[in-house]
């Protein structure tokens, strides 16, 4: 699963901790999602997509492999 979370976050100049606070998870969880070590739940995936104002499909691509997949 390829995640575009890091690109979206850095484009907005956000730290992992700030994004974590925004979607109510820890900095470590954001890091784990960005590095492909954790697949977020559906509610969290939607919360991230809503926060970045993009579609979930734009944030996560199941057809491509992430860094640790």
Partner 1 sequence: MIYQRSTTFWIAFQVLFALVCIGAGWYGGDLALGFACAGVLLASAAAFYAAGRRGKDIGGILTGVGDERVKSIYRDATFRTGEMLMYILAIWGVVSAAQGETNETLVAILMIFGALWIANIAWATWAARRPVKSVA
| 3-state secondary structure at position 2 | strand
- Provide the token pair at 20: 């974590």
Q: Which is nearer to partner 1, 13 or 30 (CB)?
A: 30
Window of 6-14, 42-50, 53-61 that interacts with partner 1 by CB under 8 A: 42-50
Q: Is residue 29 involved in binding partner 1 (CB under 8 A)?
A: yes
Under the criterion CB under 8 A, does residue 52 sit at the interface with partner 1?
Answer: no
Please report the DSSP string for 14-29 in residue order.
--HHHHHHHHTS-HHH
Tokens of 62: 């199941």
Q: Which residues bind partner 1 (CB under 8 A)?
A: 24-26, 28-29, 32, 38, 40-41, 43-44, 46-47
């Amino acid at each position: 699963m390829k995640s575009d979370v890091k690109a979206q976050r850095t484009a907005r100049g956000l730290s992992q901790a700030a994004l974590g606070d925004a979607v109510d998870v820890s900095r470590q969880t954001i890091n784990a999602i960005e590095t492909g070590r954790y697949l977020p739940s559906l509610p969290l995936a939607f919360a991230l997509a809503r926060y970045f104002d993009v579609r979930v499909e734009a944030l996560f691509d199941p057809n491509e492999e992430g860094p640790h997949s």
